[in-house]
Amino acid sequence: MSLAKQRKVWTFALLFCSITFTTILFSYTFRDPSLYIFKHAFQLSDSFFSKGPCACRQCIAELEGDPWFAERFNQSIHPLMTRENSILPEETFRWWQWLQAERQPANFSEVVEELFQVIPDEVLYTDASPDRCRTCAVVGNSGNLKGSHYGSLIDSSDFIIRMNQAPRSGFEEDVGTKTTHHVMYPESAIDLDNTTSLVLIPFKTLDLQWIISALTTGTIKQTYVPVMPTIKANKNKVLIYNPAFLKYVYESWLESRGRYPSTGFLSLQFAIHICDEVSVFGFGADQYGNWHHYWEDNHLAGAFRHTGVHDGDYEYNVTLLLADKHKIQMFKGR
């Protein structure tokens, strides 16, 4: 082979290797954020590595190309209440007070001040960045979790959000063993371990008074029904769902359907606003069309679907639409 031909062969081989390496490099860089180091090592142009709102493969906060989602998704209203954002607009406060029609409520600002003497006054989960990928599992209570074997998949998420009276013991294979956040209201309260954040949804001023009492004196024993006078929970990890955020979810996402959103839908929206990827388990009916809790043997269709307070069908349809738009991943169980 002549020297000229050898040079051509070597040039072609070098070019082929260069193209192959570059293709692999780009493919893995965008699939695995840990390989961003190659971008800096080779000092390639930043234009080739434009980052999205998070480091996950698909970010909830990506608004381009989806007008429906962009119109509804608002990150300016924080899901959790602090002293600073507890000063509610008059319209919001009146709407919130109307939800459970509390008679002679206590002074709201005084209760809030007392509340944040008992629990931390912190602004959390505002660390969204192109370098963060926070995965979250929202675990509902549907009977479709029975026999699903989702436990290990649920436990693999960074945040695992459960709600109301959902048990884990005896159901670990299907629902997992871990909980980072447990969403409840006074009438659905259960004891928690020391590592779990209690997320209280207050529907009235008395609910804020209840959590103060439940963590201290135990004097409040009834709201509109008997409630737990005391609760086992780490008071340094107690969080309060923001009434302004509750109203935003009701108006923007549910278009004011029902009286107010369900705990499940409020938990889902909490996850959508603090997480980058959200997986949803235990929502909807089982394979036979029955709506019941996974720990119950109640197979009466509609057992918790129609409460007279929530529009369950509309909430479920919005949840399905979020899945269809790849904003959440929905696991429908059995």
H or E stretch including 208? helix 205-215
DSSP state string for 30-65 = HH-GGGGHHHHHTT--GGGG---SSSSSS-TT--TT
Q: Is 218 annotated for ligand binding?
A: no
CB distance 308 to 175 below 8 Å: no
CA-to-CA distance for 243 and 137, rounded, in angstroms? 23
Q: How many residues does the chain have?
A: 334
- Phi, then psi, of 290 in degrees rounded to 5: -85, 140
Q: Is 236 annotated for ligand binding?
A: no
Out of 248, 260, 294, 316, pick the active-site residue: 260
Query: Which residues touch 214 (CB under 8 Å, ≥6 apart)?
Result: 186, 189, 220, 228, 229, 230, 231, 233
CA-to-CA distance for 87 and 109, rounded, in angstroms? 8
Does the active-site annotation cover 310? yes
Q: Is 264 annotated for ligand binding?
A: yes
- C-alpha distances in angstroms, 35 versus 20, 59, 157? 17, 18, 21
Q: Is 164 annotated for ligand binding?
A: yes
Q: Is 176 annotated for ligand binding?
A: no
With b meaning 16 or more CB within 10 Å and e meaning fewer, what string describes 34-68?
Answer: eebeebeeeeeeeeeeeeebbbbeebbbbeeeeee
Does the active-site annotation cover 181? no
Out of 181, 182, 292, 310, pick the active-site residue: 310
The DSSP bridge partners found for residue 52 are none
CB distance 214 to 235 below 8 Å: no
Q: Is 287 annotated for ligand binding?
A: no
Q: Is 293 annotated for ligand binding?
A: yes
Q: Is 284 annotated for ligand binding?
A: yes
CB distance 208 to 92 below 8 Å: no
- On the 0-12 / 13-18 / 19+ scale of CB atoms within 10 A, 275 is buried
- Crossing angle, helix 263-274 and helix 312-324, to 10 degrees? 30
Q: Is 260 annotated for ligand binding?
A: yes
- Binding residues for substrate are 100, 141, 164, 224, 260, 264, 284, 293, 310
- Binding residues are 100, 141, 164, 224, 260, 264, 284, 293, 310
Catalytic center residues = 260, 310
